[in-house]
């Protein structure tokens, strides 16, 4: 959440603080336009909500509406962008407090993300005080620049064998807060689209990322399909857990439909 007080700009990120404190953070991904559902996800108690604009068919106006909805709940609004400088700029200018950036495969890729997300002198993000993230000019100035650089969370996605091979170099980049494993993408790019993330070689690759996170002191995040998978991922050492909202909704709905259909079987 962000607040204005005494003419200065105050920006905080509760998820970054949790990770610094050694706590876990759990959030949901939503890839379609529904401010109401985004707000519900925040009210449900998730620490963060990721608005997926890599795969989702969202306009930037719709992304902004969903950021507002998440902010109302106290959860941290994060946007998954395409690997594109203008997308990073637009997400942050609209008030996103974090980024998920897909297909980061090298140290140079990671450095480029930081450059796009951070204001000078740390990076090269374009400066505008008239945008929503600085309260349309009410909260601009040096405090805004410094606090934005400190508060914005950057998660880069580890989704290819190349990224796994370069994981130590990627984690060495200052400004990267999370290396986020995409199990489905990783299994597909490794050639195991049929076997999926449970294939032993995919599991070994994910373990390499986990071990590198412990070595470098960088948080590792991972996508899960539902609640049953969370304890295992925490045991692995992943403090940042994301779940796609659609399989969770389907699982709950399937149970209701199944119970309803069983009524006809007991007649």
- Tell me the per-residue pLDDT of 100-120, one tens digit each, with 9 for 90 and over: 999 999 999 999 999 999 999
| pLDDT class of 7 with cuts at 50, 70, 90 | very low
Q: Find, among 157, 19, 176, 161, the residue nearest to 81 by Cα.
A: 157
3-state secondary structure of 110: helix
199 in active site: no
CATH of domain 2-265: 3.20.20.60
The mean pLDDT of the chain is 92
Write the CB contacts of 56 (distance below 8 Å, at least 6 apart in sequence).
Answer: 30, 31, 32, 33
Per-residue model confidence (pLDDT) at position 5: 42
Q: Which pair of structure tokens corresponds to residue 165?
A: 């091979």
Write down the residue that tokens 């349309």 correspond to: 136
Locate 81 and state its tokens.
């962008």
Residue 1: pLDDT over 60: no
Catalytic one among 33, 43, 55, 199? 55
Spatial contact of 99 and 113, defined as CB atoms under 8 Å apart: yes
Average pLDDT over residues 36-64: 96
**pLDDT band at residue 9 under the 50/70/90 scheme:** low
């Amino acid at each position: 959440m962000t607040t204005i007080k005494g003419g200065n700009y105050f920006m905080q990120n509760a998820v970054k603080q949790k990770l610094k404190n050694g706590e876990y953070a759990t959030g949901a991904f939503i890839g379609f336009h529904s401010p109401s559902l985004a707000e519900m996800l925040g009210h449900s108690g998730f620490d963060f909500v990721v608005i997926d604009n890599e795969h989702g068919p969202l306009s930037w106006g719709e992304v902004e509406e969903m950021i507002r909805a998440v902010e109302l709940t106290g959860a941290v609004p994060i946007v998954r962008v395409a690997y594109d400088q203008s997308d990073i700029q637009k997400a942050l200018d609209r008030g996103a407090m974090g980024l998920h950036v897909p297909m980061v495969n090298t140290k140079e890729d990671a450095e480029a993300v930081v450059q796009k997300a951070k204001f000078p002198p740390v990076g090269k993000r374009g400066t505008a005080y008239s945008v929503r993230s600085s309260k349309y000019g009410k909260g601009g100035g040096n405090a805004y620049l410094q606090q934005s650089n400190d508060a914005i969370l950057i998660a880069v996605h580890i989704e290819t064998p190349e990224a796994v091979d370069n994981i130590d170099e990627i984690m060495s980049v200052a400004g990267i807060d999370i290396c986020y494993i995409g199990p489905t993408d990783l299994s597909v790019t490794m050639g195991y689209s049929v076997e999926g993330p449970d294939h032993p070689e995919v599991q070994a690759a994910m373990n390499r990322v986990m071990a590198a996170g412990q070595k470098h002191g960088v948080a590792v995040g991972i996508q899960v399909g539902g609640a049953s998978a969370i304890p295992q991922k925490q045991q692995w050492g992943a403090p940042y857990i994301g779940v796609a909202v659609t399989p969770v909704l389907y699982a709950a709905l399937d149970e209701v439909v199944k119970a309803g259909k069983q009524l006809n079987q007991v007649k």
